[in-house]
Structure 1
Amino acid sequence: MNQLDEKIISTERLVLYPLKASHAEHMFHGLSDLGSYDFTPDLPYRDVAALADRYERLERRRSPDGREVWLNWVIGSVATQQLLGYVQFTVKPFEQRALVAYFVFASHRKQGIANEAIGAALSEVVASFQLTRVDAEIDTRNAASIALIERLGFERTRLVPHADEFKGAISDEYHYSFAVSGNGSAGDNTGP
């Protein structure tokens, strides 16, 4: 186990709680918006039980072969205690890198929530695992996600044409990388 497996991360407006199967009931409605899946091959979960099964697997915090650490947090509001989405890091310790992914419920977008949550978790993950970089892979049509990741200081490293095909469309991807400074910190990229 790693110190981040059970760590609660707080910001001024948000609390990031380590993901548990028990969160499925409170996350299900926000994850059910079909329009939120336009740029991913995923679809909403069919019911709370299916989502809870997935969360139960993620609670292990490790891939079966032990080569990946799965760090997943649900994003909660300090003011309302309402859950707003999630942020996740798939850490590859042997490669000193991680892949970031995130989801903010449609009703809470454009409020800086993803920026704040990713920024807070990024600092913790980088420090805990002594990473040299964090990557993001984004469908080229997802302008909001591209703007977010660039605002956080990620640099576009390449275009992957025809990276995937789903929902009747070809998905090209931009790959981004966040280079960690020499002192092992993510710096302060958490501004608005």
Structure 2
Amino acid sequence: MMWPAAELLDTTRFLLEPLFEDHADEMVDVLAFRDLYHFTGGEPPTPEVLRVRYARQSTGSSPDGKAGWLNWIIRTKTSGQPIGFVQATLTGGGDQLVADLAWLITPPAQGSGAAVESSAAVLAWLKGRRVRSVQALIRPDHSASAGVAQRLGLSPTSVRIDGEVLWEAKFPYS
């Protein structure tokens, strides 16, 4: 399957740059806060780990080709500094594309609306690529992410996967 490639996205306050391996060095500081791993587990990555991860993610698809990988670094227009990322994993095909959406904002920029503004730009871009539905997995006690999902138009479902609530939105096409 030919998956769409991430493109530069522009919002009022942010530029969303398609991910490249070279982003690793500057993203290490963005991802260095231990609080970021409270809900997901893990620990801040080293530059080497991040380079390997970004090299793999920037290929645009899973090794077997069954999923499209779209990743953007969020950069503020005022300072040019990165503050987080948005990613979408595409599955399905034809007019039945599904996007699994995720976002992360570094703690100093949290609460600024960056996750909503950036993720909304990605959602608009995905709609233009005939993505039929968007979903996100969110821990039940992660009220900030639940708030982002709700502002993006996603609703919680009764589905639980590994202790997380599946949120989703379907997009009609004529």
Normalising by structure 1, we get a TM-score of 0.84
Please give the alpha-carbon distance, in whole angstroms, between the structure 2 residues aligned to 1:35 and 1:105: 9
Q: 1:6 to 1:154 in 2, by over 3 A?
A: closer
**Residue 66 of structure 1: how far off its partner (Å):** 0.9
**Residue 54 of structure 1: how far off its partner (Å):** 0.3
Partner of 1:7: 7
Query: How many equivalent residue pairs?
Result: 171
**Residue 159 of structure 1: how far off its partner (Å):** 4.5
Partner of 2:169: 178
RMSD over equivalenced CA pairs, Å: 1.4
Determine whether 1:98 maps to 2:99: yes
Unaligned 5+ runs, structure 1: 165-171, 184-192
Q: Which deviates more from structure 2 when the two are superposed, residues 174-183 or residues 72-81? A: 174-183
Partner of 2:34: 34
Please give the alpha-carbon distance, in whole angstroms, between the structure 1 residues aligned to 2:92 and 2:124: 16
Partner of 1:109: 110
Partner of 1:77: 76
Please give the alpha-carbon distance, in whole angstroms, between the structure 1 residues aligned to 2:13 and 2:75: 9
Please give the alpha-carbon distance, in whole angstroms, between the structure 1 residues aligned to 2:19 and 2:126: 15
Unaligned 5+ runs, structure 2: none
Please give the alpha-carbon distance, in whole angstroms, between the structure 2 residues aligned to 1:35 and 1:107: 11
Q: Which deviates more from structure 2 when the two are superposed, residues 48-57 or residues 34-43? A: 34-43
Cα deviation, 1:31-85, whole Å, max 9, x if unaligned, reads 011111111133221x101101100001111111111110000000111101010
Matched residue type, 2:43 = L
Please give the alpha-carbon distance, in whole angstroms, between the structure 1 residues aligned to 2:7 and 2:135: 22
Q: Percent identity?
A: 29
Please give the alpha-carbon distance, in whole angstroms, between the structure 2 residues aligned to 1:11 and 1:74: 13
Please say if residues 69 and 93 of structure 1, whose CA atoms lie closer than 8 Å, have aligned partners that are also in contact: no
**Residue 6 of structure 1: how far off its partner (Å):** 4.7
Partner of 1:158: 158
The structure 1 segments of at least 4 consecutive aligned residues displaced by more than 6 Å after TM superposition are none
Partner of 2:131: 131
Cα deviation, 1:122-159, whole Å, max 9, x if unaligned, reads 1111211x121000000111011011101111011114
Partner of 2:143: 143
Matched residue type, 2:90 = V
Matched residue type, 2:110 = R
Partner of 1:25: 25
Normalising by structure 2, we get a TM-score of 0.93
Please say if residues 98 and 131 of structure 2, whose CA atoms lie closer than 8 Å, have aligned partners that are also in contact: yes
Partner of 1:167: none
